[in-house]
Amino acid sequence: MKTINDFNFKDKKALIRVDFNVPLDADFNVTDSNRIEAAKPTIIKVLEDGGSAVLMSHYGRPNGKPNADMSLGHILDKVSEIIGVKVKFVSDCIGEEAEKAVAELKNGEVLMLENLRFHAEEEKGDRDFAEKLSKLGDIYVNDAFGTAHRAHASTTVVAQFFKGEKCFGNLMAKEIEAIEKVMRTGEKPVTAILGGSKVSSKITIIENILSKVDHLIIGGGMTYTFVKAKGGKVGDSICEDDKMDLALDILKQAEEKGVKVHIPVDVLAADSFSNDANTKIVDVDAIPEGWQGLDAGPKTLANFKEVILNSKTILWNGPIGVFEMESFAKGTIALGNYIDEATSKGAFSLVGGGDSVAAVKQFGFEEKVSYVSTGGGAMLESLEGKVLPGIAAILED
């Protein structure tokens, strides 16, 4: 696996695919700069070597047409501020104007191209478009894990024009390494915590990781499909009745593979889906009609704590309660605290997938776990065992 550390960029122009699809407010101010900050080490490495950086990214969904509201020009000042270099900008990502701007780029300088998705050919993975992009650098660096599961021109196709002159950026390398630790090289016991509302959205992940983990903690809304499948009463809790056979099959597969599955034994139930609902602790398989489980109960959390604190490698994907409502956030916060404690004792912890990442950020656990993935869809597809197109393109020569 070639990374930026395998190259010296002196007098070279690095064409870097970054993921600067960051949230903006109504006045086009960046409200979360994590993705820009994550790309900084790769860009700095190129500049410190004595090279220059050409940054390309998408923003939003402009449907293949220029759209002033989705111009990357809006984030130029923020990118300059974070990198510590005044970043230049060009109003297209291919063609004469872009080629001229790249030709004039000096060592130590950074140029950002306009939104790749202003051209429909980007998302189509068009070869001619990718070839035009390839003219803008000497070495191709993919540092956009968040788009690595898309076979787009800038993430995948462009790599074929850089035989031997392509590599992963710092962020991509860290993402790949983190997933490798959970899926292959991690110290045992390995524990996967899967939360969220639906079994159906996690089927392929569960099936793929069962042969790689020692413990599987099931939480969140999908708990109730498992509980009902085993004959329990779940009241008005979210439940996928058509997935109950699948839930039983997962439990059978786990038993055959020697994986211990931990399902909640008690829950915080509510009489409506509201922060102000009446609540009570009930056994997970005895939730009254008119009530629904919205968070893990105290016995469940004690069980989960014991498993997590005895783990050496931890994957957390999905919250175990409706953490967006304060009344039902305690379980997810407790889980974060247990993972923090295990990590501080030497365990490796990886958090990935939209809602769990949101929870980690909301409750201040970002610096307390080993790694927080920047790519929701890409992370999930990696856990499903898929080879991501953006990764495969660098590995092929």
Residue 378 confidence (pLDDT): 83
Please give the pLDDT value at position 377: 77
Q: Is 240 annotated as a binding residue?
A: no
Mean pLDDT along residues 185-199: 90
Question: End of a domain among 138, 171, 204?
Answer: 171
Task: Give a yes or no: residue 212 inside a domain.
Answer: yes
Q: What pLDDT is attached to residue 144?
A: 94
Question: Looking at the domain assignment, is residue 149 inside a domain?
Answer: yes
- The residue among 339 and 197 whose pLDDT is bigger is 339
pLDDT of residue 170: 95
Q: Is the pLDDT of residue 354 over 70?
A: no
**Are 141 and 278 within one domain?**
no
Residue 373, pLDDT > 90, answer: no
For residues 143 and 199, state if they share a domain. no
Judge whether 392 lies within some domain.
Answer: no
Question: Does one domain contain both 157 and 276?
Answer: no
Q: Is residue 215 assigned to a domain?
A: yes
In this structure, the answer to whether residues 345 and 369 fall within a common structural domain is yes
Residue 87 has pLDDT above 90, yes or no: yes
Q: Are residues 303 and 336 in the same domain?
A: yes
Q: Is residue 391 part of a domain?
A: no
The answer on pLDDT for 196 being more than 90 is no
Same domain, 156 and 204: no
Residue 183: pLDDT above 90? no
Spatial separation of the C-alpha atoms in residues 7 and 332, rounded to whole Å: 42
Average pLDDT over residues 268-276: 96
Question: Above pLDDT 90, what percent of the chain?
Answer: 82
348 among annotated binding-site residues: no
- The reported pLDDT for the residue numbered 56 is 98
- Averaged pLDDT, 233-255: 95
Please report the pLDDT score of residue 20 as a whole number: 95
* 41 and 155 assigned to the same domain: yes
140 is in an annotated binding site: no
Tokens of 331: 């379980």
Poorest-pLDDT segment among 136-150, 153-167, 272-286, 376-390 = 376-390
Residue 180 lies in a domain: no
57: helix, strand or coil: coil
Active site residues: 35, 198, 354, 377
| CATH code, domain with 12 | 3.40.50.1260
Annotated binding residue at 375? no
Same domain, 198 and 62: no
Determine whether the annotation assigns residue 58 to a binding site: yes
Mean model confidence pLDDT for the chain: 94
Q: Is 202 annotated as a binding residue?
A: yes
321 pLDDT above the threshold of 80 = yes
pLDDT band, very low/low/confident/very high, at 186 (cuts 50, 70, 90): confident
- Give residue 25's domain range: 4-171
11's CB contacts (< 8 A; 6+ apart) are 50, 51, 107
Residue 355 counted as an annotated binding residue: yes
Cα–Cα dist 142/19, whole Å: 10
Amino acid type, 392? A
Instruction: Using alpha carbons, list the distances in angstroms from residue 389 to 89, 156, 164.
Output: 28, 6, 17
- 19 annotated as belonging to a binding site for a ligand: yes
Q: Is residue 10 included in any domain, yes or no?
A: yes
The torsion of the CA quartet 34, 39, 44, 45, rounded to 10 degrees, works out to 140
Mean pLDDT value of segment 191-209: 87
Q: Please state whether 365 falls in left (phi above 0), alpha (psi between -120 and 50) or beta.
A: alpha
Task: Describe the strand order of the beta sheet including 13-17 as a list of residue ranges.
Answer: 88-90, 110-113, 52-56, 13-17, 139-142, 166-168
26-72: per-residue pLDDT in tens? 999 999 888 999 999 999 999 999 999 999 999 999 999 999 999 99
Residue that has been written with the tokens 């002159």 in this structure: 165
- The structural domain count of the chain equals 2
Q: Give the mean model confidence (pLDDT) for residues 252-262.
A: 96
